[in-house]
């Protein structure tokens, strides 16, 4: 009986550790659906409904810039020197 109880405790511990490891990774992967981004800028992005959003963190911005460079602009969205780019999107 003691051996069965020890085995059950070990299995429960391993199962709990596996869930703890997989939990945060899955939560981070759904932070932003890049298909929602119409245009990205250094300080955030516009969605397809003309709503402005800030990047959650620098890693998110770098990922978008690296993988969607055709819709990324390396300046702030309100930089007047580049106002002619998508000026109808600015509020």
pLDDT at 48: 92
**34 compared with 66, residue with greater pLDDT:** 66
pLDDT at 26: 37
- Residues near 86 by beta carbon (within 8 Å), at least 6 away in sequence: 39, 46
Count the Cβ atoms, other than its own, within 10 Å of residue 77.
Answer: 21
**22 compared with 80, residue with greater pLDDT:** 80
- In angstroms, the CA 53 to CA 33 distance is 12
Q: In the structure, what pLDDT confidence band is assigned to residue 81 with cuts at 50, 70 and 90?
A: confident
Q: Is the pLDDT of residue 78 over 50?
A: yes
pTM score over 0.85: no
């Amino acid at each position: 009986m003691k051996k069965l109880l020890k085995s059950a405790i070990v299995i429960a511990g391993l199962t709990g550790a596996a869930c703890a490891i997989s939990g945060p990774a899955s939560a981070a992967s759904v932070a932003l659906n890049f298909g929602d981004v119409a245009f990205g800028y250094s300080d955030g992005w516009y969605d397809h409904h003309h709503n402005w959003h800030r990047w959650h963190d620098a890693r998110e911005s770098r990922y978008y810039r690296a993988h969607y460079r055709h819709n990324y602009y390396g300046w702030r969205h309100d930089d007047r020197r580049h106002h002619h780019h998508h000026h109808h999107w600015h509020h």
